[in-house]
Structure 1
């Protein structure tokens, strides 16, 4: 026992992207599911302004892309800028209780790129719980680095059961954690000695091999094993047509890593043919990394676009 839990890696992408507008208003015009969050932000920031909040371009929900974290951070950042407070993303995350398991979403919002977080000390977070059930702050970021802009991620999001969330997610954590120490050791070795050097050396082949290798280890293996058979079939397609592949969080989003937009278009076409042959619907997205993080713009009249 190293005295820490959680820990993970992730990448910020340009697409799909989120766009939120926050503006002062005479009374709250806020989506119902976001009203408690806005009330909490007002309370913690010590303000009493009313707001109009519009999700102009939402992220797909419950598909493993961290949509809830990005949405709440965007709203919190917008409110803080309107009020002249400029809270940093990590502090907003503490207020809205995000980052209690993974620090990837918060770090991606801050400045994008490839991210490795160091998990939580047992003194801060004694139990294995997802973010929504944890009061722990976001974990420390150990490594954050831009990815080459010609490295593309091709995402396939089949229309199947959404990724685990809510009480189901909590139950999975309770049932399968902690994962075997030998798996943690293998994952750590792959990240430290294969994935991170590959990023620095711009070696997409080694990067992809490392990403593929960890899909069958630790909690990621649990997440993959709980998914529909279609995920494993997509892995087979990606195994032969990309440098590396994996599933994002609980899925069902899977991805392949390729070199260049041309290769990304070819893989996207191949995956579209796969969906058609299987008679299933879904979304396909190709994207390079977002190496800057969120873009927050305060415009005349006080609306903030994030």
Structure 2
């Protein structure tokens, strides 16, 4: 499958999505929202020259379907065949943005193999990603804490977002409950097709929370103000999705666990996207105490706990000779 000199790796973060600012149609800008890039779980792909296109590892079938779509683009069809190994993967359909990271990573690999220097606009054109939320795309490009300014019409070829540093002492726990997968694909598209202007009744409050509470507290490193603002934002952002989440802003199990965590003194907790993944953010000592309680009392309900930190770089690449960011800070991204 080729020697080490021809090896090319790409690694991407996962992401938390805290909720949309403008979920319904009818405004000049729609969607937008807040999110955070995570160091773990991550996607790690390794490619070598090969006689034919092959993909091995977890989620290989999903990756193969994505590959076939990408090869329909004339620029990418020029790439020589690769054997792509999925060395690490992001759990699918749990609210961590696995589909976007897989598509962008594969598109970048193919672009490089074809002798191109892909820009972020290229990746979005090839993959069709960022049609709704830009958070996952921004996590790939830059990492950090992300404010997505939403989509205008006609849409810009390059997404508009603000990226902020996330305090390294604030750690993140991702809890994956034993629960059905979150909405995705056609079912998710159908939900958004039904959301009109009435779904935006809380948008003004969500914007105030984002701009006047969460972001200033983040910049000033005021954890408890940040945490209370984020909890309210996440809860209110889920209100318009009650009909699809059992009459609650969260799915039922997440609602029970988040209430317990807050009662025990950790305020920055909620559901990522459609879930069922939930997050808890806190300084390491406070988070450690809470996780000990969760392991003791929710061992059957929680199938996995991932303790991680914010990703500050976005996706990165590695060859036998070099290693660096997929999009350097001064590059077009």
How would you bin the TM-score normalised by the shorter chain?
A: 0.7 to 0.9
Give yes or no for the alignment of 1:246 onto 2:270: yes
Query: 1:80 & 1:168 partners in 2: Cα distance?
Result: 31
CA contact (8 A) 1:268 1:285 kept: no
Give yes or no for the alignment of 1:26 onto 2:46: no
Tell me the TM-score normalised to structure 2 length.
0.79
Correspondence for 1:140: 160
Q: CA deviation at 1:72?
A: 1.4
Q: Indicate which of 62, 66, 70 corresponds to 1:37.
A: 66
Correspondence for 2:123: 92
Q: CA deviation at 1:274?
A: 2.8
Instruction: Give the number of aligned pairs.
Output: 289
**Structure 1 gaps, min length 5:** 125-135
Correspondence for 2:293: 270
Q: Deviation per CA, 1:136-176, whole angstroms, max 9, x where unpaired?
A: 856311x2011010111111110101000122212221234
Q: Indicate which of 247, 252, 265 corresponds to 1:229.
A: 252
Tell me the TM-score normalised to structure 1 length.
0.86
Q: Deviation per CA, 1:176-234, whole angstroms, max 9, x where unpaired?
A: 44454430000001101001111111111111111111123245652662754211111
Query: 2:51 & 2:67 partners in 1: Cα distance?
Result: 15
Could you say which structure has the higher strand fraction?
Answer: 2
Correspondence for 2:14: none
What is the DSSP-based 3-state SS (H/G/I as helix, E as strand, rest coil) of the residue aligned with 2:274?
coil
What is the DSSP-based 3-state SS (H/G/I as helix, E as strand, rest coil) of the residue aligned with 2:297?
helix
CA spacing shift, 1:178–1:16, aligned 2, 3 Å: farther
**Structure 2 gaps, min length 5:** 1-25, 327-333
Correspondence for 1:78: 109
Provide the aligned C-alpha RMSD in A: 2.4
Q: Indicate which of 228, 231, 238 corresponds to 1:209.
A: 228
Give yes or no for the alignment of 1:115 onto 2:138: no
Query: 1:178 & 1:250 partners in 2: Cα distance?
Result: 21
Give yes or no for the alignment of 1:287 onto 2:308: yes
Query: 1:219 & 1:227 partners in 2: Cα distance?
Result: 7
Could you say which structure has the higher helix fraction?
Answer: 1
CA contact (8 A) 2:79 2:114 kept: no
Query: 1:25 & 1:74 partners in 2: Cα distance?
Result: 19
Q: CA deviation at 1:76?
A: 1.6
Correspondence for 2:216: 197
CA contact (8 A) 1:77 1:92 kept: yes
Q: Deviation per CA, 1:70-98, whole angstroms, max 9, x where unpaired?
A: 11111222222233312023421221111
CA spacing shift, 1:221–1:207, aligned 2, 3 Å: farther
Q: Deviation per CA, 1:94-120, whole angstroms, max 9, x where unpaired?
A: 211111111011111111000011111
Query: 1:123 & 1:181 partners in 2: Cα distance?
Result: 20
CA contact (8 A) 2:235 2:270 kept: no
Query: 1:285 & 1:253 partners in 2: Cα distance?
Result: 10
Matches within 5 A, 1:125-136: none
What is the DSSP-based 3-state SS (H/G/I as helix, E as strand, rest coil) of the residue aligned with 2:45?
strand
